[in-house]
Amino acid sequence: MSLLKPIELAINIALSQDLETKAKLTQFEQRCITIVISDFDKIINASVLQQQIHLSTHSEHPADLTISGKALTLAKLGSDPESLFSSEIDIHGDVQFAKQLRDLLEGFDFDWEAQLAKVTGDTLSYPIAHGIRQATRWVKETHNSLQETTAEYLKEEVRILPDKSQINDYMADIDTLRADSDRIEARIKRLHS
């Protein structure tokens, strides 16, 4: 059994708990999204058929939208749909479709604690959910701290990355070069005429 089948099942069960979001899936009927997980070199195709999400590693239809990014960045889309349009994610294809997808994700309201309570009972569901939230917060804070520390080390200690003033100077030089190039092109056109 493919690893995608349990994920597909979990997504569809979650959707069945949020009838409003499930109803909105009709606008995505027979549309295909290709998700490229760049750090694992994996491609997943997600399509909608009869208000159900279907996942596969291949697709018979061309993708209406291709979303590329690292696994953690793509995983954040569930909690932060606005990050779909961040610099960490590449989007190719129907931009209007991407906006509709973002709106769908923003409106998705899955009460995973209630689902957990059905399996573990009310007594255990709160401590488990609390522990998961704390672990998620710790991972996020550690990830952010590691990014900041690494960037600072590469800028200040090793001097591999430029600092903000160097980037600004470089961009100003590019703007000047572009303006000079435009003026030269305009002069050449005047000389030809």
> What's the CATH code of the domain at 32?
3.30.1050.10
Q: Average per-residue pLDDT in the chain? A: 81
Region 42-70 average pLDDT: 87
Q: Where residue 178 falls among pLDDT bands split at 50, 70, 90? A: very high
- Based on the domain organization, do 21 and 95 belong to the same domain? yes
Please report the pLDDT score of residue 19 as a whole number.
76
Share of the chain above pLDDT 70, in %: 89
Instruction: Specify whether 182 is located in the same domain as 89.
Output: no
Q: Which residues constitute the domain of residue 176?
A: 162-193
Domain-terminating residue out of 107, 140, 171: 107
Is there a single domain that holds both residue 8 and residue 98?
yes
Residue 83 is predicted with a pLDDT of 79
Nearest to 107 by CA among 179, 22, 32, 41: 22
pLDDT at 154: 80
pLDDT band at 77 (very low <50, low <70, confident <90, very high): confident
Mean pLDDT value across residues 140-147? 80
| DSSP, residue by residue, 109-136 | ---HHHHHHHHH-HHHHHHHHHHHHHHH
pLDDT score recorded for residue 36: 92
145 domain-assigned = no
Same domain, 102 and 11: yes
**Domains contained in the chain, number:** 2
Asked if residue 63 belongs to a domain, the reply is yes
Give yes or no: residues 169 and 78 share one domain: no
Compute the average pLDDT of residues 161-168: 80
Is 114 inside a domain boundary?
A: no
Token pair, residue 2, equals: 């493919």
- Residue 76: DSSP 8-state: G
pLDDT band for 115, please (50, 70, 90 cuts).
low
Within a domain: 76: yes
141 within some domain:
no
pLDDT of residue 117: 65
